[in-house]
Amino acid sequence: MTSPSSQRTRVSPWRLLVVLALVGGLGWTGTRTVAAIVAPTPDPGDSRFAAYVDVTATPAFAFETPSGPAQSTVALSFVVADPQSPCTPTWGGYYGLQDAADVLELDRRIAQLRATGGDVWVSFGGQLGTELSAACSDPDALRTAYRDVIDRYDLSRVDLDIEGTALEDEAGAARRAAAFKDLQDEAADAGRSLDVWLTLPVGPDGLTDRGVTTVETFLAAGVDVGGVNGMTMNFGVVTSPHEPLADVVVSAAEALRDQVADAFADAGRRMSTSDSWARVGVTPMIGQSDVQSERFTLADAAAVNAFAKDRGLGLVSMWSLNRDATCTAPLPSVLTVVQTGCSGVDQRGESFAETLAADLDLQPVTPDPAGTARSTPTPTATAASPADVVDDPETSPYPIWDPYGTYPAGTKIVWHKQVYQARFWTSGVVPGTPVANEWDSPWTLIGPVLPGDRPAPLPTLPAGTYPDWDADGVYVAGDRVLLDGVPYEAKWWSQGQEPGTPVPGGSPWVLVIPAG
Q: Which residue in 280, 294, 277, 179 sits closest to 236, CA to CA?
A: 294
d(CA 412, CA 416): 13
pLDDT of 38 over the 80 cut: no
pLDDT at residue 25, as a whole number: 40
State the pLDDT at residue 59. 85
Same domain, 270 and 407: no
Any domain includes 210 = yes
Residue 418 contacts residue 400 (beta carbons within 8 Å):
no
Question: How many residues does the structure list for the chain?
Answer: 516
| Better-scored residue on pLDDT, 366 or 16 | 366
Q: How far apart are CA 269 and CA 264, in angstroms?
A: 5
Distance CA(197)–CA(228), nearest Å, equals 6
Q: List pLDDT tens digits, range 408-422.
A: 888 899 999 999 999
Residue 309's SS3 state is helix
Does the pLDDT of residue 16 top 90, yes or no?
Answer: no
**427 vs 190, higher pLDDT:** 190
Domain endpoint, select from 421, 448, 475:
448
From CA 108, how far away is CA 320, in angstroms rounded? 21
Residue 70: phi and psi, rounded to 5, are -65, -20
From residue 174, alpha-carbon distances to 71, 232, 252, 459 in Å are 34, 25, 26, 49
Q: If pLDDT is split at 50, 70 and 90, which confidence band does 108 have?
A: very high
Instruction: Give the domain extent around 431.
Output: 386-448
Q: What proportion of the chain, given as a percentage, has pLDDT over 70? A: 85
Q: CB–CB of 160/124 below 8 Å?
A: yes
Write the DSSP string, 358-426: TTSB-----B-TTSSB-SSPPP-TTSPPGGG----GGG-SSPBP-TT--B-TT-EEEETTEEEEESS-B
Co-location of 293 and 394 in the same domain: no
Indicate the helix (H) or strand (E) that contains 248.
Answer: helix 245-266
Q: Are residues 287 and 349 in the same domain?
A: yes
Query: Within this chain, do residues 142 and 105 fall inside the same structural domain, yes or no?
Result: yes
At 377 the pLDDT is 33
Q: In sequence order, which residues have a C-beta less than 8 Å from that of residue 189 and are 6 or more positions away?
A: none
Q: 225 with 252, same domain?
A: yes
DSSP for 253-304, please give it. Answer: HHHHHHHHHHHHHHTT----HHHHHTTEEE--B-EE-SSTT-EE-HHHHHHH
Give the lowest-confidence range in 131-135, 234-238, 512-516.
512-516
DSSP string, 124-190: EE-SSS--HHHH---HHHHHHHHHHHHHHTT-SEEEEE--THHHH-HHHHHHHHHHHHHHHHHHHHT
CATH number at residue 294: 3.20.20.80
Mean pLDDT on 199-227: 97
Q: Residue 396: give its domain's CATH number.
A: 2.10.10.90
Pair (436, 469) in one structural domain? no
Q: Do the strands 85-91 and 95-96 form a parallel or antiparallel pair, or are they unpaired?
A: antiparallel
Q: What does pLDDT average to over the chain? A: 86
Assigned domain for 215 exists: yes
Residues 334 and 418 in one domain: no
Stretch 473-479: mean pLDDT: 95
| Confidence class for position 403, pLDDT limits 50, 70, 90 | confident
pLDDT value for 238 = 92
Least reliable range by pLDDT among 50-59, 148-157, 304-313, 426-435? 426-435
CA distance 439 to 39: 55
User: Exposed, middle or buried by CB within 10 Å (0-12, 13-18, 19+), for 27?
Assistant: exposed
Local confidence band at 407 (pLDDT 50, 70, 90 cut-offs): confident
Does 12 have pLDDT greater than 50?
no
Helix count and strand count (H, E) for the chain: 12, 22
- Do 186 and 113 sit in the same domain of this protein? yes
Q: Side chain identity at 238, as an amino acid letter?
A: V
> pLDDT at residue 36 above 70?
no
pLDDT at 304 over 50: yes
Query: Which stretch of 11-15, 155-159, 270-274, 413-417 has the lowest confidence by average pLDDT?
Result: 11-15
Tell me what the mean pLDDT of segment 384-413 comes to: 82
Of 252, 147, 238, give the one whose Cα is nearest residue 206.
252
CA dist 454 and 83 (Å) reads 30
In this predicted structure, the answer to whether residue 277 has a pLDDT above a threshold of 90 is yes
In the predicted structure, residue 22 carries a pLDDT above the cut 50: no
* Residue 140 exposed, middle or buried by CB count within 10 Å (0-12, 13-18, 19+): exposed
Provide the domain count of the chain: 3
Q: Lowest mean pLDDT: which of 139-153, 191-205, 256-270, 453-467? A: 453-467
pTM for the full model? 0.79
Instruction: Say yes or no to pLDDT of 286 above 50.
Output: yes
Q: What is the pLDDT of residue 32?
A: 29
What gap in Å lies between CA 285 and CA 296, rounded to an integer? Answer: 7
The per-residue pLDDT for 365 is: 53
Residue 513, pLDDT score: 83
- How many whole angstroms from its chain centre is CA 27? 53
| pLDDT range class, residue 351, cuts 50, 70, 90 | very high
Q: What is the largest CA-CA distance in the chain?
A: 148
**CA 26 from centre of chain:** 53
* Cα–Cα distance measured from residue 480 to residue 404, given in angstroms and rounded to the nearest whole number: 13
Instruction: Say whether pLDDT at 15 is over 60.
Output: no
Q: Which of 257-266, 300-309, 328-337 is predicted with the least confidence, judged by mean pLDDT?
A: 328-337
Residue 474: CATH number of its domain? 2.10.10.20
**Between residues 501 and 315, the one the model is more confident about:** 315
User: Domain end: 339, 357, 375, which one?
Assistant: 357
Question: Residue 437's pLDDT band (boundaries 50, 70, 90)?
Answer: confident
